[in-house]
Amino acid sequence: MNNRENYEARDIAGDLERLGEEIATDTEATLTETRPQDFDHDDWKALREAIKAMRARLDEMEEMIDRAETEADEYDEETAEDRYETYWA
């Protein structure tokens, strides 16, 4: 991730896609190289739990976007009463 001031939605999306692809590729490679007799159920249980947690976090992120989208759709500059002036100035 970048530490720059203007971190845009496309940048975040790109990071998410690259990270997801890297994790999926690593997981597939590891599973392919793991012999059945060496498969550790506990290790993979931890990954399953991490996947569940990330799914929940991704749902939260989508809800954040939905809220921002709704607020943008409902935004009326005439009635905003300087609500955003101090934050975005």
Separation between Cα atoms, residue 66 and residue 14, nearest integer Å: 19
Q: Is 60 exceeded by the pLDDT of residue 46?
A: yes
Residues 6, 12: Cα–Cα separation, whole Å = 11
Global confidence as pTM: 0.72
Cβ neighbours, 10 Å, residue 11: 13
Q: What is the predicted pLDDT for the residue at 22?
A: 98
Mean pLDDT of the chain: 88
Q: How confident is the model at residue 89 (pLDDT cuts 50, 70, 90)?
A: low
Residue 89 tokens read as 């100035």
13-27 per-position pLDDT tens digit? 999 999 999 999 999
Q: What is the pLDDT of residue 77?
A: 75
Residue 44: exposed, middle, or buried by beta-carbon count in 10 A (0-12, 13-18, 19+)? middle
DSSP 6: -
